[in-house]
Amino acid sequence: MDATLKPRGATDVEDVIKWAAGETQPLEIVGQGSKRALGRPVQAAHVLDLSDLAGVESYEPAELVLTVKAGTPIGEVEKLVDDNGQELSFEPMDYGPLFGEEPGRGTIGGVLAANLSGPRRIKAGAARDHVLGMEAVSGRGEIFRSGGKVVKNVTGYDLPRALCGSFGTLAVTTTVSLKVNPKPETSATFYLAGLDDQDGVQALCDAMGSSAEVSGAAHLPDWVDGGKSRTLLRLEGFKSSVDYRMKTLQERLAGFGKPQILEEQGSKEIWQKVRNVEPFAARDTPVWRISVAPTAGPQLVARLKTVFELDAFYDWSGGLVWLSCTDGEIHQAKIRTAVEAVGGGHATLVRADPSVRSDTAVFQPQPGPLAALSRRLKEQFDPKGILNPGRMVSGM
Amino acid sequence: MTAIAMPPPDQAVIARRKEILSALQAIVPGEGVIHDEREMRAYETDALTAYRQLPLIVVLPETVEQVSKVLKYCHEHDVKVVPRGAGTSLSGGALPLEDGVLLSMMKFNRVLDIDYANRAVVVQPGVTNLGITRAVEHEGFYYAPDPSSQIACSIGGNIAENSGGVHCLKYGLTTNNVLGLEMVLINGEVIRLGGKHLDSEGYDLLALMTGSEGLLGVVTEVTVRILQKPETARALLIGFPTSEDGGRCVADIIAAGIIPGGMEMMDKPAIHAAEDFVNAGYPRDVEALLIVELDGPEGEVDYLIGRVEEIARANKASHLRVSENEEERMTFWAGRKAAFPAVGRISPDYLCMDGTIPRRELPKVLARMRELGDKHGLGVANVFHAGDGNLHPLILYDANKPGELDAAEAFGADILRLCVEVGGVLTGEHGVGIEKRDLMTDMFSEADLKQQQRVKCAFDEKHLLNPGKVFPVLHRCAELGKMHVHKGQLPFPDIPRF
């Protein structure tokens, strides 16, 4: 009796989960299913499909607050705020290209469940930094609300933020309130050509330490476009301000070579490419997403290059390394050892066959006491283990 | 004064005081354990001074190992623990318990690592908020969240309260500026969350810890991100004939795509009190006074000053000045920053409330607040963070007049309920503590609160860390663990399935 259930409201979700908890029937929670290939494959007979749980509940641009049902397509959310001169500042990345699917799919609930963010992470934060409140249903089949609809709130534990990045394993979110921000008037990208990884990331870190208010800092090595490497710095805001800060950057980075500038359209295109990991889109090799201190990025890659064949590029001022194992192996142990050796961080296997992901610690394994605490938290929210079992950690 | 009841003290624990004392002295030698009543007086209250309680014993550990051993001992022997930073909490978050150990973290006061290239600073929790900025400002950096107590409050306490300040609309709260923590659980286990990298893997326990008011664990090390100081800052002082005009001006500034570094508003009583106190040059013939500070690159700030001036005029500003130099900017702020002590001069006592509302409700809330004041027979002065709707009504009363404190507390509770009623929340930055604990049921349902307490059960099953704070009813974890589920066949004929 495998079923796909499509609830139309929070009470439907509550009914389904109550039943599933009573019968200990695991559920796979999906929106549009655009990130099913992310994390460990879920072992569940039934699917809880939230795509009918869609629509805007309230939107008040002057309050900078948007409340939507979790199954609302992310494209619709982005269009709505864009039409009002606003944006989701965390610029959620789109896994479509990397997974060989069409771009633009996914729901806002999925974006939060995976805590997605894009290049603007370094300035604006991740999805979790923009969530204000939510209504959700726990694995006990109880509806609860947490947070609120105002931008400044410290009432009670911050459950909405804690549910971000939990991949639907703690509770099923039904409605979310988000902080939105004014959209910058314009953007432009300053770039340096021909720097090696070390110098490129040093230039990025220098720029991030300036008053230029950089909102994107990426280094694309020469393999990306088959020419010279490009070290990219994005500036956004009012036109006069962008022009002014561009001069600040030119002075600050004069020692790294002669800069070039991509105006608005070119700038948008290159950052979309960085954001959606397009350099690896056409391949089918394993891909890792590795987060380390920014200056450790090039060290990590240099170290791993002596051990196996790879291609890598850098976002977040060097702190986010996208790495593809060109020999087809996943090299889990080598990568995690190297992350530790450069000062710690975390490595996530984001693209690999389901059979490989089933047998791998896809997310960074945690030390004993931390893993035990996470397990206790899971048990409090979902004591029967029915929500996306195994998605993050085997057996949990 | 005990309108807010604390959990009844465990007399058995109090009877074991001697034994507990010697155990703690064995862990933290010398002057690290305080048990003399006179010396413990310094710890009997935080900045919510209406409430006082001597702790069982005060412990001031110096190492992570000592913290771990103290907590492990207390866990094994069922002794409650109240963590404390600098004691500047305004909601009673660090109020001691008669049967509990007060764990002061103020000896953890070192800056451990400054990493400019990665824009990260690692400090111990007892370092003050301003201390972090002081450590990096010579290189042009600063730590953004700026609670008004920043000269005294500790970063560990900032994490406990998820502190904010004037800068928060643009630069975020503590939760948006903390990268990592080392913390000790009540069972003595030491865990690390995050670090100099972004977005920890696994559950976002950093989010749960930030703002958890000392109920989940004890922070022993903090990694924060630092930012380059803005090139310049300029402020506008704008007066309005009505609060509606002021409120609309705030909304229009944001609608124009401008996020100021600070946007603060004061009502007439607050303006007069502040002006009498510091002579900041505030106009007296306005109902609302707005200070808008724009910070960033010089060219941008000059441009935006012009834009805000236009918006202010369009909203009937009756008074408008732009700071022409740093001295003038500081003068604009002097009145706002002195507003609390200024109000202290016009009233023997005041209660500072803290709630957030959707900005559009401001005129309604101010009008209703005046009505409530009449009902309770007390005055109120308002200063608030206009950019994010965080209100700080100062309720004026005289503690020496019988019944006035009770009236002030009842008035405060009515204001906070009003905040919730219009779509806001009970606290924007001061925390729930004991002060707003019994109002939690006005904002959350029983199911909401139970789910929050289940988080507590994952961290501290015995409820030993800071009990009596935040939650009005302490449910036992065993009771919270019960599930009431309907057994049966796949029962929902109405839900579409495929």
Helices (H), B30-96: 37-40, 64-76
In this complex, do B495 and A12 lie within 8 Å of one another by their Cβ atoms? yes
- Are the C-beta atoms of residues A108 and A68 closer than 8 Å to each other? yes
Range 325-384 of A in CB contact (< 8 A) with B: 343-346, 348, 363-364, 366-367, 369-370, 373-374, 376-381, 383-384
What is residue B489's predicted lDDT score, i.e. its pLDDT? 64
Radius of gyration of chain A (CA): 21
CB atoms within 10 A of CB B393: 29
In the block, which residue shows the tokens 């502190």?
A: B163
- Are the C-beta atoms of residues A331 and A309 closer than 8 Å to each other? no
Q: Distance (Å, rounded) from C-alpha A21 to C-alpha B31?
A: 53
Mean pLDDT of B380-395: 93
Helix (H) / strand (E) element for B20: namely: helix B17-27
List the single residue in B with minimal CA-CA distance to A383.
B481
Across the interface, of B255, B298, B458, the residue whose CB is closest to A61 is B255
CB atoms within 10 A of CB A100: 12
Helices (H), A212-353: 239-252, 264-275, 296-305, 332-341
Q: Distance (Å, rounded) from C-alpha B282 to C-alpha A23?
A: 67
In this complex, do B427 and A154 lie within 8 Å of one another by their Cβ atoms? yes
pLDDT along chain A (396 residues), means of 10: 88 95 96 95 94 96 95 98 97 96 96 97 97 98 97 95 97 98 95 98 97 96 95 96 94 96 95 98 96 98 98 98 97 98 97 96 96 98 97 94
- Are the C-beta atoms of residues B141 and B130 closer than 8 Å to each other? no
**Helix/strand/coil percentages in chain B, nearest 5:** 40, 20, 40
What is residue B490's predicted lDDT score, i.e. its pLDDT? 66
Across the interface, of B211, B229, B488, the residue whose CB is closest to A19 is B488
In this complex, do B117 and A158 lie within 8 Å of one another by their Cβ atoms? no
Mean pLDDT of B419-444: 96
- CB proximity A4 to B under 8 Å: yes
Residue A3 Rama label (left phi>0; alpha psi -120 to 50; beta): beta
CB atoms within 10 A of CB A24: 10
Using alpha carbons, select from A216, A275, A268, A265 the residue that is nearest to residue A94: A275
* Size of the A and B interface in Cβ pairs below 8 Å: 319
Nearest-CA distance from A145 to chain B in Å?
A: 6
Mean of the per-residue pLDDT values for chain B? 94
Q: How confident is the model at residue B3 (pLDDT cuts 50, 70, 90)?
A: low
In the block, which residue shows the tokens 């009756």?
A: B318
Amino acid identity at B72: K
B407 to each of B270, B410, B456, how far by Cα in Å? 21, 5, 33
pLDDT at B2 over 60: no
- What are the structure tokens assigned to A259, written together? 């800069």
pLDDT in tens, A259-293: 999 999 999 999 999 999 999 999 999 999 999 99
- CB proximity A385 to B under 8 Å: no
Helices (H), A146-261: 159-163, 197-208, 239-252
- B-chain residues near A212 (CB < 8 A): 297
Dihedral pair phi/psi, residue A322, rounded to 5°:
-95, 125
Query: In this prediction, what percent of chain B has a pLDDT beyond 70?
Result: 97
Pairing of strands A287-292, A230-237: unpaired
CB atoms within 10 A of CB B334: 17
Radius of gyration of chain B (CA): 24
- What are the structure tokens assigned to A244, written together? 């002014």
List the single residue in B with minimal CA-CA distance to A290.
B197
- Are the C-beta atoms of residues A217 and A232 closer than 8 Å to each other? yes
Amino acid identity at B298: E
Nearest-CA distance from A307 to chain B in Å?
A: 24
Q: How far is CA A289 from the centre of its chain?
A: 10
A159 Cβ contact list (under 8 Å, min separation 6): A134, A136, A144, A146, A147, B208, B451, B452, B455
Across the interface, of B231, B296, B485, the residue whose CB is closest to A22 is B485
Dihedral pair phi/psi, residue A164, rounded to 5°:
-65, 135
Across the interface, of A152, A238, A380, the residue whose CB is closest to B303 is A238
pLDDT in tens, B468-477: 999 998 789 9
In this complex, do A162 and B204 lie within 8 Å of one another by their Cβ atoms? yes
Range 96-155 of A in CB contact (< 8 A) with B: 115, 117, 121-122, 125-126, 128-129, 138, 140-146, 148-155
B238 Cβ contact list (under 8 Å, min separation 6): B246, B249, B289, B290, B291, B292, B312, B317, B319, B320
In the block, which residue shows the tokens 């510091």?
A: B278
Nearest-CA distance from B457 to chain A in Å?
A: 8
- Quickly count helices (H) and strands (E) in chain B: 18, 19
Chain length of chain B:
498
In the block, which residue shows the tokens 């002030």?
A: B408
In this complex, do B191 and A370 lie within 8 Å of one another by their Cβ atoms? yes
List the single residue in A with minimal CA-CA distance to B359.
A63
List the single residue in A with minimal CA-CA distance to B116.
A209
In this complex, do A129 and B483 lie within 8 Å of one another by their Cβ atoms? no
Helix (H) / strand (E) element for A287: namely: strand A287-292
pLDDT at B161 over 50: yes
Q: Distance (Å, rounded) from C-alpha B460 to C-alpha B451?
A: 14
- Are the C-beta atoms of residues B194 and B223 closer than 8 Å to each other? yes
Mean pLDDT of B71-82: 98
What is residue B485's predicted lDDT score, i.e. its pLDDT? 64
- CB proximity A321 to B under 8 Å: no
- CB proximity A60 to B under 8 Å: yes
B211 Cβ contact list (under 8 Å, min separation 6): A154, A157, A158, B159, B160, B161, B162, B174, B175, B431
List the single residue in B with minimal CA-CA distance to A86.
B257
pTM check: above 0.90: yes
- What are the structure tokens assigned to A247, written together? 């001069």
In this complex, do B357 and A150 lie within 8 Å of one another by their Cβ atoms? yes
List the single residue in A with minimal CA-CA distance to B432.
A155
- CB proximity A394 to B under 8 Å: no
Coil vs helix vs strand at A194: coil
Amino acid identity at A298: P
pLDDT in tens, B223-273: 999 999 999 999 999 999 999 999 999 999 998 999 999 999 999 999 999
Dihedral pair phi/psi, residue A292, rounded to 5°:
-140, 175
Q: How confident is the model at residue B1 (pLDDT cuts 50, 70, 90)?
A: very low
What is residue B167's predicted lDDT score, i.e. its pLDDT? 86
Q: Distance (Å, rounded) from C-alpha B293 to C-alpha A110?
A: 37
The angle at the Cα of B370, spanning B365 to B374, to the nearest 5 degrees, equals 140
Coil vs helix vs strand at A317: helix
Q: How far is CA B84 from the centre of its chain?
A: 14
B245 to each of A117, A127, A173, A297, B232, how far by Cα in Å? 37, 34, 38, 51, 28
Q: How confident is the model at residue B280 (pLDDT cuts 50, 70, 90)?
A: very high
Q: Report long-range pairs for B484-490 (Cβ below 8 Å, ≥24 apart).
A: B485/A18, B485/A19, B485/A21, B485/A22, B485/A140, B485/A141, B486/A18, B486/A19, B486/A22, B487/A22, B487/A23, B488/A19, B488/A22, B488/A23, B490/A1, B490/A3, B490/A19
- A-chain residues near B259 (CB < 8 A): 181-182
Across the interface, of A151, A166, A245, the residue whose CB is closest to B203 is A166
CB atoms within 10 A of CB B261: 21
Amino acid identity at A245: R
- B-chain residues near A241 (CB < 8 A): 296-297, 299-300, 303
